[in-house]
Structure 1
Amino acid sequence: MRTDTLMVQGTTSDAGKSTLVAGLCRVLKRRGISVVPFKPQNMALNSAVTAEGGEIGRAQAVQAQACGLAPHIDMNPVLLKPCSDTGAQVIIHGKAVDNMEAGRYHDYKAVAWQAVAESHGRLTQQYRSVLVEGAGSPAEINLRDRDIANMGFAERVDCPVVLIADIDKGGVFAHLVGTLELLSPTEQARIKGFVINRFRGDIALLQPGLDWLEQRTGKPVLGVLPYLHGLHIEAEDAISREPDADKAGDALNVVVPVLPHISNHTDFDPLRQHPQVRLTFVGTDDEKPAADLLILPGSKAVRTDLEWLRAQGWDRYIQRHLRYGGKALGICGGYQMLGREVADPLGMESDPGSSAGLNLLPLTTELAQQKALRNCSGQLNINGQAVPVHGYEIHCGVSRVDAGFESLVTLDYGVDGAVSEDHQVAGCYLHGLFESAEATRELLSWAGLERAESIDYYALHEAAIDRLADSVEENLDLERLFALLDLEGAAEEAS
């Protein structure tokens, strides 16, 4: 079977690489073309668990859904999860191999490349088209040596590249021309066209700039994608700080601290889309609004983020919040923080040692070398109800709950989590709690929302991917794009 590979690179992080690949994946799927997403190297704290118990970037799981596929470790063979400003946990083919400082990982790239090459080779044997997402920008000169994420990959596998830039940030023509100028002649030749993302306004006013760009570079503009207001596609890493709009005055107020090492904040995407919930992310030195429900999210550096919580006054905020009848929920690292102690004797996330927790749940946690990676289903036990729940676990902590306390969830492998005696505080390791409609309804009812509605998050997610694909079909030159994949006639086929 012939396979063709097309790579999408961006002028910056968050230029729209992930969403363009997801949109193109759905467009090809609509035409019955066998397509798979691929990201050689990803740096992100949002991850997903595959069926075989591996860990990949969350964006690739979304792209897999756009293709109608289950996530697989070959879709993202190298995942870097930052645990400090200079170091990251290195995950190869779904499994953590070590924590490495940047210099050491640079030397390790020869090994990482072998994983990339093996995964890409396997995918080309199984699928007609491979849509590849780059990382950051190909013009990061300091990272050119031994690059496996952008042009280093494209040059080795000899694939064409589309370059995307975000006009909403400003400077789009400088981004595109500047990026092109910083590439080598062979890399410049590999770029077959540009896509401009998140455009607002009258396209006629942009046309002179597009004409100039094509004349200046000799490369076509393959399309201009509009700014899609209210589009909810799970982010690779960036957190949307836009306030929830069009929520009723009596909406439930949910507050989430943006920990310095927050992980899997996509847990809260279903709440952003819930018509009865007003979700607020609160960052460093931001004002802390009143809340009905406070949620402590996951963390890649729990003890370090616990120190940040105290420095930011969240410990005092939580005590006041609970005194006035509010509810608190912890997920994964946030669950560990709610306990009495978090110990890291092996230095898995930071220097060896232990830290006092917030002492709101009857548990102690010790970080272990073996990471738990599994998809789970079972029942949520809250608010006097037991309802279906599903999700996934990614953690190296082992928590021990005092005997006699209620667990929050009963899963296919056993019980997990804890609920305080006064039922004001709860937590567990299960990510994706709010993707289960009935579980979300009961959690919101527990937090004080009267007549909480159920939403079908999967259906909303599918609708968002379809909306994105519709925009791609309407605004991009698919004939040219599909020619790069040698898909004759695909642009004209009915969806």
Structure 2
Amino acid sequence: MVQGTTSDAGKSVLAAGLCRVLARKGIKVAPFKSQNMALNSAVTKDGGEIGRAQAVQAQACRVEPTVHMNPVLLKPNTDIGAQVIVQGKALADMDAVGYHNYKKVVMTPIMESFNILQQDFDTVIIEGAGSPAEINLRENDVANMGFAEEADVPVIIVADIDRGGVFAHLYGTLALLSESEQNRVKGFVINRFRGDIKLLESGLDWLEEKTGKPVFGVLPYLHGLMLEAEDAINAQQVDAAEHQLNVAVPVLTRVSNHTDFDPLRMHPQVNLQFVGKGEAIPPTDLIIIPGTKSVRDDLAYLREQGWDKQIARHLRLGGKVMGICGGYQMLGESIADPDGIEGEPGTSQGLGYLNTTTVLAPNKQLKQTQGKLRLPEQPVVDVTGYEIHAGVTEGVRDDSPVMLTDGPDGQMGVDNQVFGTYLHGIFEQQGACDAILSWAGLEATQTPDFDLLREQGIDRVADMLEESMDLKKLWPEWADKFDAGFTR
């Protein structure tokens, strides 16, 4: 189990890299995260919902993701509440206190999923959540040491040296654990190191002497790494001599599946800009309204920021607008939530650029799908993706821009300047991305192979781990599979 001293210490990336290392050695491996809190999610083939990070880790293992790889997913819909998804299906909305009490119950399906993976795979790489030393969250813990103790698994702890205070983080985290939990910790990993390792060696010696635990490796900072983020927005762009198309994405309060935009930030011809609270949408060619977990609240937020007026001006000047999932719903005439699925019951007036209406319903749509993308003056291209939404949208016509295997999706509006779709992952196929960017005004599109970039990112992490970690010490039972010659 990979645990971290803080959020964003590098647990997800380390787990993905270890998964790929073992998969390359012919070991049948699966990822697992008992509890994930994230608005970036993926849909499994059987229609379940899991954290996006576990889908990426499954790819690192070269296996299909299943709901058992992330049996509990929490999707925040307020500052104190979240939708609780258990083994792929939405269970209920709970506030923090309610879910804290529910942890006693949810450990049962967590262990059920973990045991299923143990039966099907040679080993499981487990990712923790946040820090195991959060004193206020120790009771009924299912995400870190509570799970490790229940499942009886060894633990390594990773810390991010780029944040500063790495030795205090590691030593203090270990000190705050119980004796049995401390005994479970097999060693440490230091992440994102820049500089000469010789300047760190005295600190490593001190840490090993004080704790009696080895440092399995010091991992270098990987610049420009392409690996999808678990939850935080990654705004780092590929270097390009000249960006030819400007794309702006207003960041909503409950923005979800913003990994949709990773292919754009890695595109050498695209200048992708995330627009935050209090910021104006800059002059741009294409505005994309993203998905959100709280579509009516975020529609109100969009108006509070004045972005609705800026979108209207953008369209008057001939710009293009696209909406994905919740953003697509906002582009219609109205969004109704009669049952209070996402908040207070009621109806919100949409932006009115599409002749559609949406009603939120209890049964969430979860599916992988494929079809054809038919944009004006563009070639018809194949498209694949996934849907995650609670809304049922009426008014979709047969001349919809997206024709999926089970019917039309989305709509065009405002003299072909506005386009909406429920399809997440639409930019991941070169043909579909080319068509959308060409529709938005980009000439001679040169969209890179995103699947290849993602594979290269996973392999880059795995290569780094094989060079920078003492994998023989970490896995003595598989020592013959790793090259000799590791040095700190």
Counterpart mapping for 1:355-434 below 5 A: 355-384=348-377, 385-401=379-395, 406-434=399-427
SS of equivalent residue, structure 1 residue 74 = helix
Deviates more, 1:214-223 or 1:369-378: 214-223
Deviation, structure 1 residue 316: 1.1
The CA distance in 2 between the partners of 1:490 and 1:192, in whole Å, is: 20
Matched residue, 1:213: 207
| 1:235 and 2:205 aligned | no
Residue 275 of structure 1 aligns with an amino acid whose one-letter code is P
Partner of 1:290: 283
**Equivalent position to 1:197, from 191, 197, 201:** 191
- Superposed CA RMSD in Å reads 1.4
What pairs with 1:132-281 in structure 2 (closer than 5 Å)? 132-242=126-236, 244-281=237-274
- Separation in structure 2 between the aligned mates of residue 363 and residue 98 of structure 1, nearest angstrom: 28
Residue by residue over 1:12-68, the C-alpha shift from the partner in whole angstroms, topping out at 9 and shown as x without a partner, is 111100000100000001100010000001110000000111000000000000010
2:371 and 2:384 in contact (8 A); partners too: yes
Measured after TM superposition, the shift of residue 455 of structure 1 is 2.0
> Does residue 487 of structure 1 match 2:478?
yes
1:30 aligns with 2:27: no
| Contact persistence 1:383–1:443 (CA under 8 A) | no
Residue 461 of structure 2 is matched in structure 1 by 468
Structure 1 stretches of 4+ moved >6 Å: none
SS at match of 2:475: helix
Counterparts of 1:178 and 1:372, CA distance in 2: 44
- Is 1:124 matched up with 2:115? no
What percent of counterpart residues are identical? 60
Tell me whether 1:449 sits opposite 2:415 in the alignment.
no
Q: Deviations over 1:139-191 (max 9, x none)?
A: 11111111010000000111110000111111111111111111111111111
Question: Is the contact between residue 297 and residue 332 of structure 1 (CA under 8 Å) also seen in structure 2?
Answer: yes
TM normalised by structure 2 equals 0.97
SS in 2 for 1:155: helix
Taking the aligned partners of 1:13 and 1:113, their CA distance within structure 2 comes to 22
Q: Is the 8 A contact 1:261 1:300 kept in 2?
A: yes
Compute the displacement of 1:437 (Å). 0.9
> Structure 1 pair 417/403, CA: closer, same or farther in 2 (3 Å)?
closer
Task: Decide whether the 8 Å contact of 2:288 with 2:321 is kept in 1.
Answer: yes
Three-state SS of the structure 1 residue aligned to 2:30 is strand
> Unpaired runs of 5+ in structure 1?
1-6
The answer for the alignment partner of 2:52 in structure 1 is 58
Aligned length: 484
Counterpart CA distance in 1 for 2:484 and 2:200 is 30
TM-score (norm 1): 0.96
1:78-129 CA distance string (max 9 Å, x none): 1110000111001011000111111111111122111111001111111111
Equivalent position of 2:75 in the other structure: 81
Give the 3 Å change call, closer, same or farther, for CA 245–373 of structure 1 in structure 2: closer
* In 2: Cα distance, 1:119 partner to 1:310 partner: 43
- From 459, 464, 475, the counterpart of 2:452: 459
Q: CA deviation at 1:402?
A: 5.9
Describe the superposition over 1:449-486 as per-residue Cα deviations: whole angstroms up to 9, x where unpaired. Answer: 00111321111111111111000111011111113xx3
Paired position in structure 1 for 2:3: 9
Unaligned segments of structure 2, at least 5 residues = none
